Copies of this chain bind each other. A is one copy, B any other.
């Protein structure tokens, strides 16, 4: 099951082209705002969506379009979420129709996504005008595509891997946007993954649904669960492996490759959280069960006080214990150990629920790194979990204090 990182992103797999342009949804002409990904052949399609009751119109339309398990293209705009608009579904449908028309495929084979401000009408005019040149630009342009889906992201997020399925080399790649409104328990961001591996739609959905439980559902930037976001995968089968249509070794190889891509994208999203200067990874072991481990880990990366302390490189571990205590996780706080780990070393701060003496100097060094692991051990069982988050900074407030103007 060897998996290798390869260059590129969403166009690394055979038969996929992509592109991203500025069409005018955004006023800033320097920022791409319309993205497209196309498969040469109709592909198996799977997706997971936001659990927010308020759902973007694009979610409604995409769900319907991939209900048959297949799709061939993705169209996505940034700058406007097309959510809470009376004509939202109509506009999303129109985006699919225009994309389908330009590509010569049915509108029902198009996945549509929108991200940006909520509650402002999305004008189809610039999108309609832009689609022909977007289609003309399609090629090996994963970076432009990744740029076009970004909102407050500061870093382009893409990754590709190659992996082996029954002796056949397959490729898989993805792009992501995240930054704000990132919170556990939903597909909390836009992630588009493509692969040339042959896999049946039901198995593709199974692999994705399993995977997000320990990846995208364990990332939090600000506790706000977005209305629009989704993770989708297109698998066009052009690698030529025997179609994966049941669990087994091939399915496991696929799941492993998917997990490699998703974990890395999760880390990129958390590290590039709005205003973030640090990636936080909370690793929990020894909980009674996985649920307790996940609940505790998520609560730690969601705690505003812990996040602010990490920003200040302040080893205020009481906030970690506090966040575990109010998380609702069934844990024995009197048997809890906590340590901070980074490239600069590690510092044990709490044993059996009580503080231990530690070097403040070392702690400051450990917490001044850009990736910090908060390692929690409960000594009660085998439950383990990992959650990702980021620090809370002045810039988070700045970015969100006046997002619309």
A positions within 8 Å CB-CB of B: 51-55, 81, 83-86, 117-121, 180-181, 183, 186, 222-227, 302-305, 308-309, 311-312, 314, 316-319, 321-326, 331, 333, 349-350, 353-355, 392-394, 396-405
Contact = CB atoms under 8 A, between A and B. Distances in A.
A305 B53 contact: no
Contact of A53 (B55, B222, B326): B326
Number of identical protomers? 2
Contact of A224 (B86, B222, B303): B303
A322 to B, nearest CB: 5
Contacts of A85: 354-355
A118 B321 contact: yes
Contacts of A350: 84, 119
Given A117-B316, A322-B52, A326-B224, A84 B305 contact: no
Among the interface residues A318, A319, A349, which one has the most CB atoms of the partner chain B within 10 A?
A318
Contacts of A118: 316, 318-319, 321-322
Contacts of A309: 400-403
B325 A52 contact: yes
B403 A316 contact: yes
Contacts of A311: 397, 401
A322 B117 contact: no
A186 to B, nearest CB: 8
Given A224-B326, A302-B223, A397 B404 contact: no
A366 B391 CA distance: 31
Contacts of A308: 396-397, 399-401
Contacts of A51: 326
Nearest to A53: B325
Contacts of A120: 355
Given A52-B326, A326-B51, A84 B316 contact: no
14 contacts: A51-B326, A53-B333, A117-B316, A118-B318, A120-B355, A180-B305, A223-B304, A308-B400, A309-B403, A311-B401, A314-B403, A316-B403, A393-B397, A394-B394
Given A84-B321, A119-B318, A316-B404, 8 more contacts: A54-B321, A81-B318, A117-B318, A224-B323, A226-B322, A304-B304, A308-B397, A314-B405
Contacts of A304: 222-224, 304, 396, 400
Among the interface residues A54, A302, A309, A398, which one has the most CB atoms of the partner chain B within 10 A?
A54
Given A81-B318, A117-B318, A223-B304, A333 B398 contact: no
A401 B304 CA distance: 10
A55 B322 CA distance: 9
A405 B364 CA distance: 12
